[in-house]
Amino acid sequence: GAGVSQSPSNKVTEKGKDVELRCDPISGHTALYWYRQSLGQGLEFLIYFQGNSAPDKSGLPSDRFSAERTGGSVSTLTIQRTQQEDSAVYLCASSLEVGRPLHFGNGTRLTVT
Amino acid sequence: EDQVTQSPEALRLQEGESSSLNCSYTVSGLRGLFWYRQDPGKGPEFLFTLYSAGEEKEKERLKATLTKKESFLHITAPKPEDSATYLCAVASGTYKYIFGTGTRLKVLA
């Protein structure tokens, strides 16, 4: 594929609803990362996948957040019972291997009303 | 603790006025230092990778340099289209990438 693709690009949801964010990484990239970027803030690490495994889930803000990756490719970040503080841009990035440049998608802008 | 600090937070330049952005880092086991450009509503766009002190990379009006403690992104004769937020990140000895909070650059015509 050309680059990292994320969908939807925008999502508005009501407080308490569940949302699913999708990431299609660059083909062949084994490492996949999720970050959260709030207005005026830096990039907050959420979770890292090597293949289908997530060695470190400690960046997930609460147990309402979960993520999976299947087939060493597509990843889904799920937020259950969304809260207003979950409003942010969720960025996905992939890399050929750890230590090489991360390539980012354009993110999903989540707004919880 | 691994840390990346960027300065200044914001920078306004006149078109053609050259300047430098700074990225200071402390990391255990540097695997690479990366510069990104981020435009509003977009994800960070990869610019450069630097792996060892003394290394330099250039692309159009941008030049990145690396020492053992910091990296500079030099912008020569900037144009309004160079306006963006510039992010610096380091890859540590583990799987983590540590990002700075960025420098917001505004180039005035």
- In whole angstroms, what is the distance from residue B45 CA to residue B32 CA? 16
* Encoded tokens for B5: 């600090």
**pLDDT by residue (tens digit) across B38-89?**
999 999 999 999 999 999 999 999 999 999 999 999 999 999 999 999 999 9
Query: Which residues of chain A make contact with B31, given a CB cutoff of 8 A?
Result: 98-99
**Residue A99's closest CA among B54, B45, B34?**
B34
Task: Kindly indicate the confidence band of residue B28, based on its pLDDT and cuts at 50, 70 and 90.
Answer: confident
B99 and A42 within 8 Å at the Cβ level: the answer is yes
Query: Which residues of chain A make contact with B46, given a CB cutoff of 8 A?
Result: 101-104
**pLDDT by residue (tens digit) across B91-109?**
987 888 999 999 999 999 9
Query: What value does the mean pLDDT take over residues B12-23?
Result: 98
**Cα–Cα distances in angstroms (integers) from residue A40 to residues A27, A89, A110, B85, in the given order:** 31, 11, 15, 11
Of B32, B43, B101, the CB nearest to A104: B43
**pLDDT by residue (tens digit) across A74-95?**
999 999 999 999 999 999 999 9
Q: Which amino acid is at A77?
A: L
Which positions in chain B have a beta carbon within 8 angstroms of at least one beta carbon in chain A?
Answer: 31-32, 34, 36, 41-46, 49, 87, 89, 91, 95-97, 99-102
- Tell me, what's the pLDDT at B21? 98
Task: Kindly indicate the confidence band of residue A42, based on its pLDDT and cuts at 50, 70 and 90.
Answer: confident
- In whole angstroms, what is the distance from residue B107 CA to residue A12 CA? 33
**Pairing of β A108-112 and β A10-13:** parallel
The contacts of residue B91 (CB under 8 Å, 6+ apart) are: A98, A99, B30, B31, B32, B33, B34, B97
